[in-house]
Amino acid sequence: MFQKRFTLPLYQIAALLFGLKTYIMYRFMFNISLDNTMQEFILFINAIVSAILFFTLSVWFKERRQMKFIRYGALIGTLILFFNLVFYRNFNDFITIPVLFQGSNAADLGSSILTLIKWTDVLLFTDVVIIWYLSKKHVQTLSVQHLRKGKIAATAFAIALLAGNFVLAEIERPQLFQRSFDREYLVKNIGLFNYHIYDAVLNSKAQTKRVFADGNELTEIKDYINENVKSNEQSDLFGIAKGKNVIFISVESFQSFVINNELYGEEVTPFLNELIKEDSSLYFENFYNQVAQGRTSDSEFLVENSLYPLPSGAVFFTNAQNEYNAMPEILGDYGYYSSVLHANNKSFWNRDIMYKNLGYDYFYGEEAFEVTEENSIGWGLKDKPLFEQSMKYLQSMEQPFYTKFITLTNHFPFELDEEDATIERYDSNSNTLNNYFQTIRYTDEAIKQFFDQLKASGLYEDSIIVIMGDHFGISENHNQAMSQYLGKEITPYEQTQLQRVPFIINIPGYDGGKVISDIAGQIDVKPTLLNLLGIQPQNNLGFGIDLLGKQKEDFVAFRNGEFVSDDYVYSSGTCYDRQTGEALESQSDVSTQEKPSNVCGPIKKQVEKELSYSDEIIYGDLFRFYNFENK
Ligand code: GP9
Ligand code: MN
């Protein structure tokens, strides 16, 4: 019936049928958000390209095996799509390998699985039936037998297509592979099958490092911490907030340079400027963010664990299965109910998985909020409605609670509706910086409004409110505009100073408020908060200090090995005097210099040691060998 010269070979038919089906599923059965035509295009081609690559591999087999490869390939591929679809209908997320082995998730699915399958799902197997039939009945006409050259050419062509797909993906979402971001982004850009391969590689890398660790390393690390980091003297404020709720607000891209600063004669953040002056507030003016590629998620990791994030990739993705002894877990042992309120896709930064592992009781993600065209901008729900809509959750929450808000409006590219703008735009060559003042002013107002609501609801008196910037919003690319605004040149020293983010602890009823100038970092948040709450786990392991206690560790380390110490700032290979900003010495590697003037060298060595200890803990999943006693 089939004339060889009129028909495509089966592997090409299969690639087209299967590729189109995959695209149709992405588009109409999964709920993948597409923001522009480029994304739409990438979604379409990644479906087709993956199918072409896979089915092209069949040309390496002889006739019968070729047919077998194609029909089983189509069947298994369809089953993978189908399982993902069922999983997606329940969790609104794609399957990841660790999740498959996580009892709770599978059990969740087990009971509801029948309600998640629709009878129309049978149609998903239409192409499999066609391919199966053709592969059995038309072996001769539909198989191909290329010479070696032909096989190589066909495979090379398919690989070139895949490379083209990856290039487009990288253009659409720079650093997609290094930073991982979100499963939806990965699927959207490289397709479900490539995503599964990527996920498998990421996991096996983490697993290999884990397998060779045995916990002996911990003794050395513990000694280091006792000797160099922790101080044993308790702060005067120990327990001052005992039993209070903790409301932690992680403010997106909030940098300290706007605090107590003006734009065209107007305060940028009037509410927060007032708040830090209050007797009930502690404000740390030299508090630095310490994040790496995992951005917001890295800042969360630092805060919850007092461990450093990883040098590459987001630890929320790479080591979400580790054993931790995070703040929500510790607070849980003291009767706290913990939750996160963040109106974004739950799987962003792998939060849905990581939060459970950190001990969070509940995550109010995007679907917990009413998000409309009118009340959202840029990345999603605006900060004012976020807080407004959260009040009902806070009011019905079991107390004491530990609750983390993550704001969104002040996120790059800092978009804001005209009617929400209450300060002028800046005028420079950087639109990013120009917009920034308006969005951070908006967030300042949102926090003010939230404080009013907390007071009106009676929750304020029973809580402490912590406000922290997660990381910078204005990158080095905008240094010219930044230098225009600040009225000074942005040297590497200033660049480091720009890594300061606000850290405010407001303790209603307390009247010893002050501005604290000691250097501090996100790594110090956990011990500081726990001490205020009167909690001091005996054998806690972390690299931060209680900022209100007798200090020990005297530097703030950045992930790239740079640091700020009491006296020096080490940035871009140069050692600066911290007070004057004057360069002290400049050489590519200060640690190799033995001269007495080499003041940054010894600190740099210790910073590197500390970072590598933290990495050892994470890569080796060392806490699984450690017995934490939180009470
Ligand atoms: C997304 C938000 C922003 O949920 O936390 O993440 P970022 O891009 O800042 O890391
Ligand atoms: Mn962020």
pLDDT at 557 over 80: yes
Known catalytic membership, residue 296 = yes
In the chain, the percentage of residues whose pLDDT exceeds 70 is: 95
pLDDT at 484 over 80: yes
CA distance 534 to 550: 16
pLDDT at 593 over 70: no
CA distance 231 to 345: 40
Q: How many residues does the chain have?
A: 631
Assess contact for 286 and 517: CB atoms under 8 A: yes
Q: Kindly give the distance from the C-alpha atom of residue 536 to the centroid of ligand 2, in angstroms, as a whole number.
A: 29
Annotated binding site for substrate: 411
The alpha carbon of 232 is separated from its chain's Cα centroid by a whole number of angstroms, namely 33
* Nearest ligand 1 atom to alpha carbon 470: 9
Residue bearing the CA closest to ligand 1, atom 9: 296
Q: Kindly give the distance from the C-alpha atom of residue 384 to the centroid of ligand 1, in angstroms, as a whole number.
A: 18
Question: Residue 14: its pLDDT value, please?
Answer: 97
Q: Which ligand is nearest to the Cα of residue 366, counting in written order?
A: 1
pLDDT at 542 over 60: yes
pLDDT band at 293 (very low <50, low <70, confident <90, very high): confident
* Nearest ligand 1 atom to alpha carbon 344: 4
pLDDT at 289 over 70: yes
Q: Kindly give the distance from the C-alpha atom of residue 526 to the centroid of ligand 1, in angstroms, as a whole number.
A: 21
* DSSP label at residue 500: B
Q: Kindly give the distance from the C-alpha atom of residue 296 to the centroid of ligand 2, in angstroms, as a whole number.
A: 4
Greatest mean pLDDT range, 168-182, 287-301, 581-595:
287-301
Q: Which residues pair with 263 in a beta bridge?
A: 266
Q: Kindly give the distance from the C-alpha atom of residue 23 to the centroid of ligand 1, in angstroms, as a whole number.
A: 28
Nearest 5°: phi and psi at 133?
A: -60, -50
Task: Name which residue leads in pLDDT, 362 or 314.
Answer: 362
Identify the CA nearest to 608 among candidates 551, 547, 543, 528. 543
- 3 state DSSP class of 197: helix
Tally of CB atoms within 10 A around 207: 13
Q: Kindly give the distance from the C-alpha atom of residue 446 to the centroid of ligand 2, in angstroms, as a whole number.
A: 17
pLDDT at 594 over 80: no
Amino acid symbol at 229: V
Task: Considering the candidates 296, 432, 528, 574, report the single residue annotated as catalytic.
Answer: 296
pLDDT at 469 over 90: yes
pLDDT in tens, 231-260: 878 899 999 999 999 999 999 999 999 999
pLDDT in tens, 294-309: 999 999 999 999 999 9
* DSSP label at residue 589: -
pLDDT in tens, 379-438: 999 999 999 999 999 999 999 999 999 999 999 999 999 999 999 999 999 999 999 999
Question: Residue 552: its pLDDT value, please?
Answer: 81
**Mean pLDDT on 546-567:** 92
Identify the CA nearest to 307 among candidates 533, 626, 540, 498. 540
Assess contact for 396 and 371: CB atoms under 8 A: no
Is CATH 3.40.30.10 the right assignment for the domain spanning 217-625?
Answer: no
The set of long-range contacts for 120-128, using a CB threshold of 8 Å and a minimum separation of 24, is 121/82, 121/85, 124/21, 124/25, 124/78, 124/81, 124/82, 124/85, 125/78, 126/21, 127/14, 127/17, 127/18, 127/21, 127/74, 127/78, 128/71, 128/74, 128/75, 128/78
**Mean pLDDT (the chain, rounded):** 93
- 3 state DSSP class of 174: coil
Task: Name which residue leads in pLDDT, 104 or 30.
Answer: 30
Residue bearing the CA closest to ligand 1, atom 5: 296
For a substitution probing ligand 1, which of 411, 414, 432, 522 has the most ligand atoms within 8 Å of its CB?
411
Annotated binding site: 252, 296, 411, 470-471
Residues touching ligand 1 (Cβ under 6 Å) are 252, 295-296, 344, 348, 406, 411
Break the chain into its structural domains and give their ranges.
2-208, 217-625
* Nearest ligand 1 atom to alpha carbon 253: 9
Least confident of 213-222, 280-289, 587-596: 587-596
* Nearest ligand 1 atom to alpha carbon 351: 4
pLDDT in tens, 487-539: 999 999 999 999 999 999 999 999 999 999 999 999 999 999 999 999 988 78
- 3 state DSSP class of 475: coil
pLDDT in tens, 41-78: 999 999 999 999 999 999 999 999 999 999 999 999 99
Q: Which residues pair with 401 in a beta bridge?
A: 337
* Nearest ligand 1 atom to alpha carbon 294: 10
Question: Residue 587: its pLDDT value, please?
Answer: 52
In which order are the strands placed within the sheet that holds 362-364?
362-364, 337-341, 401-406, 245-251, 463-469, 503-506, 281-284, 514-516
Ion ligand 2 residues within 5 Å by Cβ: 252, 295-296, 470
In the chain, the percentage of residues whose pLDDT exceeds 90 is: 80
Write down the pTM of the prediction. Answer: 0.85
Annotated binding site for Mn(2+): 252, 296, 470-471
Nearest 5°: phi and psi at 442?
A: -60, -45
pLDDT band at 631 (very low <50, low <70, confident <90, very high): confident
Question: Residue 4: its pLDDT value, please?
Answer: 54
Question: Residue 184: its pLDDT value, please?
Answer: 87
pLDDT band at 195 (very low <50, low <70, confident <90, very high): very high
**Mean pLDDT on 619-627:** 95
For a substitution probing ligand 1, which of 178, 251, 290, 344 has the most ligand atoms within 8 Å of its CB?
344
